[in-house]
Amino acid sequence: MIERVLVLVYLAVCIGIGVYASRRVLGSGDEYWVAGRRIGTGVNAMAIMASLASGGSIIGVMGLAYSRGIPATLALFAGAVIGFPLASLLVARQLRNFGRYTITDFLAWRFPSPIVRLLVPLSIVVAFTVYIVAQLKAAGITANALLGISYESALVIATLVFITYVSIGGMTAITWTDVVQGVLILLVVVGTAVAVTARSGSPFELMRQATTAAPELGSLAGQSVSSYLGSFVIWATAIPVIPHIVMRVFTAKDARGARLSLNLAMVAYSVMILAAVLAIVPVGKLGFPALEDADQVFLKVMESEFPPIVRGIAVAAVLAAVMSTTDALLLACSSAIAHDLLGGLFKLNPGPRKLAALRIGSAWVIGALALYWALSPPELITRFYTAGVGLLSAGLFVPTIAGLWWKRANRLGGVAALVAGVAVYALTLTGLVDLGLAPIVVALTASTVAMVIGSLAGAADDDALLTAVAALHTDHQA
């Protein structure tokens, strides 16, 4: 009973924040998409951490480590951690200085073409719908396991709550809820890790016991280098371009705040992942060595080791992780449709009321689609959404980095790199083309080659555009 009350209170707080935020965001694009560009460094850091610390990062990371072993799992998440310095050093200052709303805005400005205006938002919608489905599964199995609510009911409740506060509260509501959610996630994961480690003496002793009982937990046996190298590369190249993180760069007060908040978020994220994988998973493997659904391991540990009130807080934390990511994903999808496609590609210029209706409507459509799909969810959610994120890395990483740092990059090169990255990733991931290498490695190579050939073959960009790009590298316009 007490678990359900805690979760209900938490959900009510989220909706309350959305309603409160809606009073000032619905009439303004700046307020709705980027929270008025006035988010402070500490708040932004916690919001970035919470956006990345998805249901996948709690339920999924432990499920992956349980089934595939800890080393391969750490490779995936170390990739994300390496992605933060890449983002901080290569894109944060420049994109913040650019001062628009989305990664599509930047790419369509740097490489002006209808193909960019169409393909980038479409890729975002496809990849993030997959990502949202994975998050919903995490919410459903958590509520089912710890609250006794049916999987389907949990999906519907969680989806209704986050769509409501995202659609009416925009980035302002997301930022406030993310801070609450980030604190909750950190406390539960790190607190659980400390509690279970204390009972075993030390992390090394815990690891030794678990790997003695289940040697596969600590090994890479049976896994090719390309499989875990692929996960590493996907996340390392995703962080600098993935829309729900890039939008956080746009919300920062200035370029310095954007960079510092990325670095601080990375610290919190690393601590959380290491606590989950090095402490909670070994306990789960020792206590429950033959789980059919590996994604259940965290829930089993909570169920067996802690009293009801702690389990209630844990459910709220997982829902927080799900919502803090899903709300940002949903806003990114909504911006891809309402801002990038309808406003950017089709040049619709609706009034404030119609624009607000478009934002709200697109959020509800994407949410409903994801909910329908999540009713028959995939296995191993981390691998599932990593494939979706790979599509974005493959298409966006090379054009973004080259567009900022290579003066010779031009429209033909940018379009070629985008198309080649997306097409080659899709072909290799589905097995239509098999070169024996990780799909992301093949796709990024193809994207780079396309960028070089296209840029050398095409006409150089206008001096005015190159001057404007160069100006992004200074802080004067922040």
Partner 1 sequence: MRRSEALALLFLIVFSIVSFLPAWREVQFAGMSLFGWLMAALMLISPLLMLLVFGRGGGGR
The site for partner 1, by CB under 8 A, has a size of 44
Closest to partner 1 by CB, 119 vs 206, is 206
Binding residues for partner 1 restricted to 373-432, rule: CB under 8 A: none
Beta-carbon contacts of residue 38 (< 8 Å; ≥ 6 apart): 251, 253
In a 10 Å sphere around its CB, with 0-12 CB exposed, 13-18 middle and 19+ buried, how is residue 262 labelled? buried
Closest CA to 51 of 87, 22, 5, 104: 87
Minimal distance, residue 326 CB to partner 1, in Å: 24
Binding residues for partner 1 restricted to 321-380, rule: CB under 8 A: none
Tell me the sheet residues that pair with 252: 39
Measured CA to CA in angstroms, residue 189 lies from 141, 321, 383 at distances of 17, 11, 21
Minimal distance, residue 77 CB to partner 1, in Å: 7
The binder of partner 1 chosen from 113, 219, 227, 448 (CB under 8 A)? 219
The binder of partner 1 chosen from 18, 51, 64, 93 (CB under 8 A)? 93
Distance CA 144, CA 136 (A): 12
Only one residue has tokens 């949410």, namely 367
The binder of partner 1 chosen from 229, 441, 465, 466 (CB under 8 A)? 229
What would you report as the CA-atom Rg of the chain, rounded to the nearest whole angstrom?
22
Minimal distance, residue 131 CB to partner 1, in Å: 22
Contact between 21 and 172 (Cβ < 8 Å): yes
Provide the token pair at 24.
Answer: 């000032």
Q: How far apart are the first and last CA of the chain?
A: 51
Minimal distance, residue 320 CB to partner 1, in Å: 22
Contact stretch for partner 1 (CB under 8 A) within 73-81, 188-196, 371-379, 449-457: 73-81
Distance CA 127, CA 151 (A): 23
Measured CA to CA in angstroms, residue 374 lies from 245, 362, 380 at distances of 24, 18, 13
Closest to partner 1 by CB, 32 vs 232, is 232
Using CA atoms of 27, 31, 36, 40 in order, give the dihedral in degrees to the nearest 10: 140
Minimal distance, residue 45 CB to partner 1, in Å: 11
Our finding on whether 220 is near partner 1 (CB under 8 A) is yes
Using CA atoms of 366, 368, 370, 372 in order, give the dihedral in degrees to the nearest 10: -150
Closest to partner 1 by CB, 306 vs 406, is 406
Closest to partner 1 by CB, 133 vs 274, is 274
The binder of partner 1 chosen from 36, 71, 361, 458 (CB under 8 A)? 71
Our finding on whether 448 is near partner 1 (CB under 8 A) is no
What is the contact mask toward partner 1 in residues 188 to 217, using x (rule: CB under 8 A)?
Answer: ----------------x--xx-xxx--x-x
Closest to partner 1 by CB, 236 vs 315, is 236
What is the contact mask toward partner 1 in residues 252 to 271, using x (rule: CB under 8 A)?
Answer: ---xx--xx--xx-xx--x-
- The string of DSSP letters for 343-400 reads IIIS-----HHHHHHHHHHHHHHHHHHHHHHHTSPPSSHHHHHHHHHHHHHHHHHHHH
Minimal distance, residue 337 CB to partner 1, in Å: 34
Residue 69 is given by DSSP the state -
Only one residue has tokens 């298409």, namely 395
Q: Return residues touching partner 1 (CB under 8 A).
A: 69-71, 74-75, 77-78, 81-82, 84-86, 88-90, 93, 204, 207-208, 210-212, 215, 217-220, 225, 229, 232, 236, 255-256, 259-260, 263-264, 266-267, 270, 273-274, 278, 475
